[in-house]
Amino acid sequence: MPATALQLALPVPLPTLFDYTPPPGHMAGPGDVGRRLRVPFGPREMVGIVTGLVPSAPDAPPLREALGFLEPCPVLTGELWDSLHWLARYLHAPLGEVLATALPATLRRGEALPDIADHGWQLTEAGYTALPSLRAGAPRQLAEWLQAQGQCPEMRLDIAQPGWRAPMRSLHKRGLVEEIDMTMWPPVPTPQIGPTLNHAQQAAADAIRAANGYAPFLLDGVTGSGKTEVYLDAIADCLARGRQALVLVPEIGLTPQMLARFEQRLGVPVHALHSGLNDNERARTWWAAANGSAQVIVGTRSAVFVPLPNAGLIVIDEEHDSSYKQFDGIRYHARDFAIVRAKTMGIPVVLGSATPSLETLQNAQAGRYSMLRLTERAGDAKPPRVRVLDVRKRPLQAGMAPEMLSAIRSAIDAGGQVLVFKNRRGYAPMLLCHDCGWSAHCPRCSTPDKPTPMTAHAGGKRLQCHHCGNRRPAPSACPDCAGLALEPQGNGTERIEELLAAQFTDVPVIRIDRGSTQRRDALQQHFDTLGSQPGILIGTQMLAKGHDLPNLTLVAVVGIDEGLYSADFRSGEKLSQLLVQVAGRAGRADKPGEVLLQTHHPDHPLLHTLINGGYHAFADEELALRDAASLPPYAHLAVLRAEAKHVDAPTRFLAEAKHLLEGVNADVQAMQLHGPLPAPMPRRAGYQRMQLVISASQRKTLHQALGTVMPTIRTLPDARKLRWSLDVDAVDLY
């Protein structure tokens, strides 16, 4: 009988699988597929996944021997296993890298499977005694909370007390708390009843409940229309059928409040998966899903890889959000992969948005998705009134017209809250010498033709490149003429904050952007600081989506003009989504909302269409334009990118790739190749960036061509020397 070898996918950038003889004493069998195996690879050790069994030919050179399995059972099985194979083929990516991306980091590194017994905490006797005399601070606050809870599992702490680990450690050191094993979940509070669904919500909920098997829905509901209530109804129905539900949300949307709301309403533990968790926590949730003990999983992009042995529903909130697309490594799109999984599992999938992506709208129009519309706001809330403010020739302060400032004043005086939106972080987008015209550029991202300005921060004292992260102190004198007339040009959120804080000393003025809100719970802390009192929030697109601030009555949009004339074909879509979403924060409860949109281009067709016809009018026009220009969603794109310190090698590599693609047989004539050309951002962090855009009207054509040439492209001599990537369905051509 010929011996059987194990075939393995390893996390290496090669499209091949690797054969090994089984570890000593093990007879390979079909049950090994999907198991993690440690193997020698070159001088190193690696963890791979068994993909199949192969007969080892007696006359072939001897294979290396595997070191050992990491556990007795497969970690990847069933539908997820099949879907990941599909994903590797679709992205033309090595299977080993795709499988590694799907696994939680600890499992990828070869650590043991997590212990999913539930750990919890409680006060000790000493803790109860010492509590009244503890100093005020985080540990005391946590101890008081624990006293009220009795015993509390860690997962509940993650939701209700974000940042609990440090104060818990401090209490633990003093013997005031102890860790306990909570194999049984304490009951979640009895589910709270939500608002009675309105007619449109009920119709949407009924349609989802009636679905049988794979059924994709677009829940297209204006901002504040109560899409979340429809999701909750669908999830409750899924739980009642004894099935698991996966909810994908954008990075920004996953707040402790949102999790708590889901848990209260569903009456079961809600398992979160997001970048704020450590690797062990992520692995625990992943494995709890694989065991079916996690019934509801709410997570950001990478949560699309959780195993769902007993799935009943997938929800993708804000389906248009760009954070669903992975921008490096394995460039998957979580929304699209979620739909593929739903199809394989034969379950409904709900895509929700007030501003659906054009891809999704086109799928709905073509009848591939059922369209569910919520055209009115829920409850008594009314849509906000939108006014365009023409600021040509107006005197501006920190980029804001006097009418804007007085509107903010009126809103505050009426007891409301104001959101000032400016999609530019920092103090000013540029530092300029008024004497000689010198300006600060990033030395790592600029080219002679295309200088990249550095953004001024801290009132102009620091410089930062928003493309590569390069930072340095601002010079005190002009490096060219030694003059002292260095001036920050233009306006970012910091400068707006400076002005508003000086003018509105009677209310809190809070800036929210990536600079001020590094930590996940910081955003909520900002909201808590504000409470329901009058005040001003200044923010970038972090503030545009998903937040429900009942007292927000005015949204002041300062400066969107940069976006109106961008070269990227998706810029109109992105800008429209951003504007509609940010406008949608106003007037979500009983107080009416107003949106003031300041621009130097009041007659721009995009603004005109959006304001008079709304997002759908824009989308219809834009879809017609895309169709005429053969752009996505009417064409399918892949971008081959390459970069190096010097531009020659990337150019040569892409030219060879192009040559190979041109050589593919005749039935792929319907394919267009653009490039090699410098990327719209031709240099970043010292690397020259080139790209080749491949497009085809038929998805199949594109994939046939890529399938034919990618294996050869990987073996080109330059492929090993360069940084390069293939991005199928690229979203950004940057």
Ligand X SMILES: Nc1ncnc2c1ncn2[C@@H]1O[C@H](COP(=O)(O)OP(=O)(O)OP(=O)(O)O)[C@@H](O)[C@H]1O
Secondary structure (3-state) at 271: strand
Nearer to ligand X, 379 or 475 (CB): 379
Tokens found for residue 598:
């300041």
- Closer residue to ligand X (CB): 87 or 354: 354
Question: Strands 36-41 and 430-433, how do they pair?
Answer: unpaired
Tokens linked to 222: 């204006």
Q: DSSP label at 520?
A: T
Whole-number CA gyration radius for the chain:
28
Residue 724 beta carbon to Zn ion: minimum distance, rounded to whole angstroms: 21
CB within 8 Å of 58: residues ≥ 6 apart:
2
Please indicate if the annotation marks 468 as binding a ligand.
yes
Cβ-based nearer residue to ligand X, 577 or 691: 577
Task: For residue 445, state whether it binds Zn ion (rule: CB under 5 A).
Answer: yes
- Residue 442 CB, shortest distance to Zn ion, in Å, is 3
The span from the first CA to the last CA of the chain, in angstroms, equals 56
Cβ(471)–Cβ(498) under 8 Å? no
Site membership for Zn ion, residue 544 (CB under 5 A): no
CB of 419 to ligand X, least distance (A): 13
Q: Which residue is nearest to ligand X (CB)?
A: 226
Element (H, E) at 91: helix 78-91
User: CB atoms < 10 A from the CB of 634, how many?
Assistant: 14
Q: Is 436 annotated as a binding residue?
A: yes
Of the candidates 457, 467, 585, 683, which one interacts with Zn ion according to CB under 5 A?
467
**Taking a C-beta distance cutoff of 8 angstroms, is the pair 187, 263 a contact?**
no
Three-class SS state of 145: helix
445 is in an annotated binding site: yes
Tell whether residue 440 is a contact of Zn ion (CB under 5 A). no
Tell me how far, at minimum, the Cβ of 225 lies from ligand X, in Å: 4
571 binds, among ligand X, Zn ion, none (CB under 5 to 8 A by kind): none
Give the Cα separation of 470 and 486 in Å (integer). 20
Size of the site for Zn ion (CB under 5 A): 7
Any idea how long the chain is? 734
Q: How far is the CB of 226 from ligand X (least distance, A)?
A: 3
For Zn ion, which residue of 261, 382, 444, 674 counts as binding (CB under 5 A)?
Answer: 444
Pick from 471, 515, 426: nearest CA to 463: 471
Q: Based on CB atoms, which residue is closest to ligand X, 120 or 221? A: 221
Give the closest residue to 419 by CA, choosing from 243, 557, 323. 557
Nearest Cα neighbor of 398 from 466, 515, 504, 498 is: 498
Minimum gap (Å) between residue 28 Cβ and ligand X: 51
Nearer to Zn ion, 245 or 442 (CB): 442
Sheet holding 18-20, edge to edge: 18-20, 4-9, 44-55, 36-41, 68-69
Report the alpha-carbon distance of residue 298 to residue 262 in Å, rounded. Answer: 9
Q: Which stretch binds Zn ion (CB under 5 A): 38-46, 121-129, 345-353, 438-446?
A: 438-446
* Candidate list 4, 202, 470, 698; residue touching Zn ion; CB under 5 A: 470
Residues 125-144, one symbol each (x = binds Zn ion by CB under 5 A, - = not), give --------------------
State which of residues 247, 378, 468, 731 lies at the interface with Zn ion (CB under 5 A): 468
Q: What angle do CA 142, 147, 151 make, to 5 degrees?
A: 95
- Using the minimum distance from each CB to ligand X, give the nearer residue, 344 or 370: 370
User: Is position 433 annotated in a ligand binding site?
Assistant: yes
Read off φ and ψ for residue 552, nearest 5 degrees.
Answer: -75, 115
Q: How far is the CB of 585 from ligand X (least distance, A)?
A: 7
667 secondary structure, DSSP code: G
Pick one of 91, 177, 266, 442: the residue that binds Zn ion (CB under 5 A).
Answer: 442
Tell whether residue 26 is a contact of Zn ion (CB under 5 A).
no
Given Zn ion, ligand X, none, residue 225, with its beta carbon under 5 to 8 Å by kind, binds: ligand X
Closer residue to ligand X in complex, CB, 51/225: 225
- Binding partner of residue 197 among Zn ion, ligand X, none, CB under 5 to 8 Å per kind? ligand X
Tell whether 73 is in a known binding site.
no
**Smallest Cα–Cα separation from 94: which of 726, 729, 717?**
726
Residue type, 86: W
> Of 468 and 538, which has the nearer Cβ to Zn ion?
468
CB closer to Zn ion out of 471 and 600: 471
H or E segment to which residue 442 belongs: none
Choose the contact partner of 445 out of Zn ion, ligand X, none; CB within 5 to 8 A by kind: Zn ion
Cβ proximity to ligand X, 354 vs 696, nearer residue: 354
Please choose which of Zn ion, ligand X, none residue 576 contacts, taking the beta carbon within 5 to 8 angstroms, the exact cut-off set by kind.
none
Per the annotation, does 465 bind a ligand? Answer: yes
Closest separation in Å from C-beta 567 to ligand X: 29
Q: Are strands 4-9 and 18-20 parallel, antiparallel or unpaired?
A: antiparallel
Report the C-alpha gap between 264 and 259 in whole angstroms: 9
463 binds Zn ion (CB under 5 A): no
Q: Is 469 helix (H, G, I), strand (E, B) or coil?
A: coil
Binding residues for ligand X, rule: CB under 6 A, are 195-198, 201, 221, 223-229, 354, 378-379, 546, 548, 584, 588
Q: Annotated binding site: which residue ranges?
A: 433, 436, 442, 445, 465, 468, 478, 481
